[in-house]
């Protein structure tokens, strides 16, 4: 093998291409469900795909999207993956795409640090720590009469 190519393989860490920013999860309780949110920054010139999320204290983990169910109702449903286009950022946030942590085996209290593994087709496995926070309510979501 060409020595330069060998060095490139050794020193190119694929996870440098994907960076996870501002991971957090909503505080919740044992037996309940909560949401996990973060930004995916793709510095690669190729798209990458998030296809699996692991969180040991959850009995079940799904990637969800939110959709307009009509009559001012929002629904959510499972998606099998999220594609992040080359040189772009994809944000998971309340009211949009999110990771659903279901059948929690533990309470998720304030300042809890959840160890989560994200699996990308190109970048491989990326471990993150998501801090538990209360959802900050948006003014526009409040009822006004």
Residue 100, interface with Cu ion (CB under 5 A)?
A: yes
Q: What angle do CA 22, 28, 31 make, to 5 degrees?
A: 130
Q: Which of residues 65-84 bind Cu ion (CB under 5 A)?
A: 76
Among 19, 64, 121, 133, indicate the residue that binds Cu ion (CB under 5 A). 64
Nearest residue (beta carbon) to Cu ion: 64
Cβ proximity to Cu ion: between 38 and 123 the closer is: 38
* Helix (H) / strand (E) containing 127: strand 124-133
How many residues make up the chain in this entry?
145
| CA distance to 14, 44, 53, 71, per residue, from 47 (Å) | 13, 7, 18, 35
Cβ proximity to Cu ion: between 101 and 123 the closer is: 101
Q: Give the residues lining the site for Cu ion (CB under 5 A).
A: 64, 76, 100
């Amino acid at each position: 093998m060409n020595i330069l190519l060998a060095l490139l393989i050794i020193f190119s860490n694929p996870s440098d291409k994907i960076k996870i920013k501002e991971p957090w999860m909503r505080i919740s309780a044992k037996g309940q469900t909560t949401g996990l949110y973060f930004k995916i920054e793709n510095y690669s010139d190729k798209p990458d795909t998030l296809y699996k999320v692991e969180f040991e204290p959850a009995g079940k983990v799904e990637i969800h999207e939110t959709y307009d169910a009509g009559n001012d109702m929002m629904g959510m449903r499972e998606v099998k993956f999220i594609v992040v286009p080359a040189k772009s950022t994809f944000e998971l946030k309340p009211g949009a795409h999110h990771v659903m942590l279901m059948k929690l085996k533990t309470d998720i209290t304030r300042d809890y640090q959840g160890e989560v593994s994200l699996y990308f087709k190109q970048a491989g496995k990326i471990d993150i720590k998501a801090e538990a926070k209360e959802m900050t309510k948006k003014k526009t979501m409040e009822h006004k009469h």
